[in-house]
Amino acid sequence: MIIVIQCTDRVGLVAAISGLLAQQQFNITSMHEHVDNTANLFFMRLEVNKTGDVEGLEENLREILPAGAIIKINPLPEKKIIVLVTKEYHCLADILVRNYFKTLGASVQCVIGNHQTLQDICLRFDVPFYLVEATGDKAAFEQNIVNITEKYEFDHLVLAKFMRILSHDFVSRFPMQIINIHHSFLPAFAGASPYRQAYERGVKLIGATAHYVTDELDEGPIIAQQIIPADHSLTVPDMVKAGKEIETAVLARALKLVFDDRVFVYKNKTVVLE
């Protein structure tokens, strides 16, 4: 069982929480905590053997924690997701394979694409695929997506190389639920054509960034980043090709962290307790 706590910091929190759990016969097998002294915030992730009274646990914790504490107790950490794609297959295929072999830590409810390109791979894995073409009318386009999402229960929308910018209205429906993979080491090269920007600038490393989507394009809280070496010999298409490997890896890692309840968000940043 995973217990996640985010609250105002104060002296003695670890003692209070661990004391309560010990008293109720929960055996802590893993505990990670972080304090942001500037923000005066306390973050904790616990894995415990569930042998005590789970029913009353949240209430008992709330009694010993500062007012306004966020407490999540997840006996079943399996999440549900919807994946949005355009034409590039690499991130989607990785997600579909892990989903099929039950190592994703989440189940893919459906895939929504604005091109038909990736329909076949979804069907081969028995995952529903919805085509929503991006016509000129953005509001209608997004409404079509919303209509599909309403057919499913889900925890997260994963933008697996979904190449359309989502509106404020759309994003605000799903606060801290949308996860995107951006093909640069943000904040360098935000916006369009990051590999072309990287090529023009002559950088010696290219990267990828998985982040929550907020109103500001490419400005949401960063979950995971990684880079690979680049040099003068790489053309823009070479960078695109090399980048796919790292985009796949970074998104996979970010999703694993989120699905494992390891990511906390505050002040447009994340705390990741591994």
Which positions are annotated as active-site residues?
Answer: 218
In the complex, the residues that contact its own copies under the rule CB under 8 A are 11-12, 14-16, 18-19, 21-22, 27-29, 31, 33-37, 89, 93-94, 97, 100-101, 121, 124-125, 185-189, 201-205, 207, 221-227, 231-233, 235, 245, 249, 252, 267-272
Considering beta carbons, is residue 110 or 145 the nearer one to its own copies? Answer: 110
- Give me the least distance between CB of 258 and its own copies, in Å please: 14
Considering beta carbons, is residue 136 or 229 the nearer one to its own copies? Answer: 229
Q: For residues 225 and 250, what is the distance between their CA atoms, to the nearest angstrom?
A: 6
Extended strands (E) in 38-140? 41-49, 70-74, 79-85, 106-113, 129-131
Angle 142-259-27 from CA coordinates, rounded to 5°: 150
Q: For residues 223 and 210, what is the distance between their CA atoms, to the nearest angstrom?
A: 6
155: Cβ–Cβ under 8 A, 6 or more apart, which residues? 79, 80, 81, 106, 177
- At residue 223, the 3 state secondary structure works out as strand
- Give me the least distance between CB of 165 and its own copies, in Å please: 20
- Give me the least distance between CB of 266 and its own copies, in Å please: 10
- Give me the least distance between CB of 251 and its own copies, in Å please: 13
What's the Cα-to-Cα distance from 195 to each of 161, 204, 238, rounded to whole Å? 14, 12, 9
Helix (H) / strand (E) containing 229: strand 222-229
Considering beta carbons, is residue 145 or 222 the nearer one to its own copies? Answer: 222
Considering beta carbons, is residue 55 or 231 the nearer one to its own copies? Answer: 231
- Give me the least distance between CB of 67 and its own copies, in Å please: 20
Considering beta carbons, is residue 10 or 151 the nearer one to its own copies? Answer: 10
| DSSP tally for the chain: helices H, then strands E | 8, 13
Half-sphere exposure of 207 (CA within 13 A, CB side): 16
